[in-house]
Amino acid sequence: MSAIDFSDPVTIAFLTDALTAAGVEGLEISGPDRQLRIVISGEGGARINSQAATPRAPGSPPVVVKAPLAGHFCAEHPAAAVTPQTLPRSVSDADLLGFIRVRHVLLPLRASRSGVLTRLLAEPGALVGFGDPLFEIELPS
């Protein structure tokens, strides 16, 4: 039996649809270096959270936020009025930086580190692959 690729957008969309149809509230899949969490909520649709477990020490080189799966990169929520992001700007570890869109599912991209968001590394609307760099965050020293 071959392993399931949980970074594949088709797989995630299939899981989301299957969970919704089955009335399941959520699913969490963890590995040594990755975590995928799909939470189904009646009002806001599915929420997906995927993150790498890569702790960094203060004073280290900038943190590069990478795409957790393939999809279309959205610097802002697609339903929001387009407002250009001003850089550099301070961010906390829980701040929302953008989204990866796979069909009707939006994967929120969190900063995961507090610091200064200095660079946008992908063009809004671009098709990005798993691991493609999206943002650069300078850590406080």
**Residues 6 or more apart in contact with residue 61 via CB below 8 angstroms:** none
Q: Beta partners for 74? A: 99
Four-point Cα dihedral 37, 117, 90, 71, nearest 10 = -30
Structural domains of the chain, with CATH: 9-138 (2.40.50.100)
pLDDT recorded at residue 12: 78
Question: What is the distance between the alpha carbons of residues 4 and 18, in angstroms, rounded to a whole number?
Answer: 15
pTM of the model: 0.58
Per-residue pLDDT tens for 2-53?
677 777 777 777 877 777 777 767 666 766 666 677 766 655 555 555 544 4
